[in-house]
Amino acid sequence: GEEVAQTPKHLVRGEGQKAKLYCAPIKGHSYVFWYQQVLKNEFKFLISFQNENVFDETGMPKERFSAKCLPNSPCSLEIQATKLEDSAVYFCASSQSRQDYGYTFGSGTRLTVV
């Protein structure tokens, strides 16, 4: 389809619990990005993939965050042992190639850690 599908839309976790978010990029798009939006405006880059390979992971808090993009499966972002500060909206975006500067964003997953 022509949209980036993110699930679930909302996720509530107790502090210390695991959270797993999913993203199905647009078919044919080879790049996938994860961003965290906090305080309504601020976007923080987490990680990007070129197909199933990690392209740039400079934004990932590696001790608790991990991500995968496996063939024929939705991409996933997993947070082990969630903390209150992980509460945010997590967006996934995909794009066709390095020469295509347009990104298509999903509608996000709102994670609330209580």
Partner 1 sequence: TQLLEQSPQFLSIQEGENLTVYCNSSSVFSSLQWYRQEPGEGPVLLVTVVTGGEVKKLKRLTFQFGDARKDSSLHITAAQPGDTGLYLCAGVGTGFQKLVFGTGTRLLVSP
Report the candidate in 4, 64, 46 with the shortest Cα–Cα distance to residue 29: 4
Query: Among the candidate windows 12-20, 28-36, 69-77, 79-87, which touches partner 1 by CB under 8 A?
Result: 28-36
The answer to the question of residue 65 lying near partner 1 (CB under 8 A) is no
Contacts of partner 1 in 77-96 (CB under 8 A): 91, 93
* Burial (CB count within 10 angstroms: exposed 0-12, middle 13-18, buried 19+), residue 114: exposed
Q: Per rule CB under 8 A, is residue 69 in the interface with partner 1?
A: no
- Measured between alpha carbons, how far is 16 from 22 in angstroms, rounded to an integer? 20
Alpha-carbon distances of 62 from 4, 59, 66, 80, 111, rounded to whole Å: 25, 9, 7, 10, 18
Min separation Cβ 81 and partner 1, Å: 26
Q: Which stretch binds partner 1 (CB under 8 A): 13-21, 38-46, 64-72, 73-81?
A: 38-46
22 binds partner 1 (CB under 8 A): no
Side chain identity at residue 8, one-letter code: P
- Provide the binding-site residues for partner 1, judged by CB under 8 A: 4, 31, 33, 35, 40-43, 45, 48, 55-56, 59, 91, 93, 98, 101-108
